Amino acid sequence: MASLLQQLRGMTTVVSDTGDINSIEQFKPQDSTTNPSLIMAAAQMPAYQPIVDGVLQQARAEAGPGASDQDVATLAFKQLAVAFGLKILAIIPGRVSTEVDARISYDTEKSIATAREIIAQYEKAGVSRERVLIKLASTWEGIKAAEVLEKEGIHCNMTLLFGLHQAIACAEAKVTLISPFVGRILDWYKKDTGKDYTGADDPGVKSVTTIYNYYKKFGYKTVVMGASFRNIGEIIELAGCDLLTIAPKLLAELESTDGTLERKLDPAKAASSDGHKITITKQTFDTFHAENRMATDKLKEGIESFSKALEDLEQLLVKRLSEITQPVRA
Q: Summarize the confidence of residues 139-163 as an average pLDDT.
A: 98
Residue 195 lies in a domain: yes
Residue 330 lies in a domain: no
CB 105 within 8 A of CB 142: yes
Strands (E), 147-280: 156-161, 177-180, 223-226, 243-246
**pLDDT tens digit sequence for 97-128:** 999 999 999 999 999 999 999 999 999 999 99
CB 5 within 8 A of CB 251: yes
**pLDDT tens digit sequence for 168-195:** 999 999 999 999 999 999 999 999 999 9
pLDDT > 70 fraction of the chain, expressed in percent and rounded: 98
pLDDT at 327: 54
**pLDDT tens digit sequence for 209-267:** 999 999 999 999 999 999 999 999 999 999 999 999 999 999 999 999 999 999 999 99
Residue 327 lies in a domain: no
**Domains contained in the chain, number:** 1
Residue 189 lies in a domain: yes
**pLDDT tens digit sequence for 273-302:** 888 999 999 999 999 999 999 999 999 999
pLDDT at 65: 86
Residue 328 lies in a domain: no
Q: Summarize the confidence of residues 133-149 as an average pLDDT.
A: 98
pTM to 2 decimal places: 0.93
Q: How many CB atoms sit inside 10 A of residue 147's CB? A: 18
What CATH number corresponds to the domain at position 246? 3.20.20.70
Low-confidence winner among 25-34, 139-148, 221-230, 250-259 (lowest mean pLDDT): 25-34
Residue 178 lies in a domain: yes
Residue 134 lies in a domain: yes
Residue 104 lies in a domain: yes
Catalytic residue set: 135
pLDDT > 90 fraction of the chain, expressed in percent and rounded: 88
CB 195 within 8 A of CB 240: no
**DSSP code of 45?**
S
Residue 330 confidence (pLDDT) above 80:
no
In terms of residue numbers, what domain contains 29?
4-322
